[in-house]
Amino acid sequence: MSSFSTSTSTSSPAPSSISMARMEKYELALKQALPTESLKIDDESHLHAGHVGAQGGAGHYRIFIKSSAFTGLSRVQQHRLVYDALSAWMPYEIHALAIVIQ
């Protein structure tokens, strides 16, 4: 299961084509690095408009992920696996990640 979305607020703009292309890359990278049982990526960049990190075009994302690779690992170790999978895009495309392990 995977999906892309923005936050559930009705005032949230739809993700741009650039944002969608980025999220597709991130989904592929996560699925290649980890056995994912569920994966959802929300683009929350609109919530950070004007933020210094957002000025260069880097995005803010919230990732909801469930993987058997996380079993027995600490939260820090789980997050490191996600950061490692996405490291090629930090900090130029990804300014901030919020990671929710399910």
**Structure confidence by residue, pLDDT tens digits, 71-92:** 999 999 999 999 999 999 998 8
Give the span between the Cα atoms of 81 and 32, in whole angstroms.
12
Question: Sign of the CA dihedral 74, 79, 80, 81?
Answer: positive
pLDDT at residue 15 tops 80: no
Where do the domains of the chain lie? Answer: 2-6+32-101
Closest CA to 57 of 43, 71, 72, 39: 43
Q: What CATH architecture does domain 2-6+32-101 belong to?
A: 2-Layer Sandwich (3.30)
Question: Mean pLDDT, to the nearest integer, of 22-42?
Answer: 96
Q: Which residues, in sequence order, are CB contacts of 44 under 8 Å at separation 6+?
A: 6, 7, 60, 61, 62, 98
pLDDT class of 18 with cuts at 50, 70, 90: confident
Q: How confident is the model at residue 7 (pLDDT cuts 50, 70, 90)?
A: very low
Q: Tokens representing 79? A: 């997050």
Lowest mean pLDDT among 9-23, 35-49, 83-97: 9-23
Residue 8, pLDDT score = 38
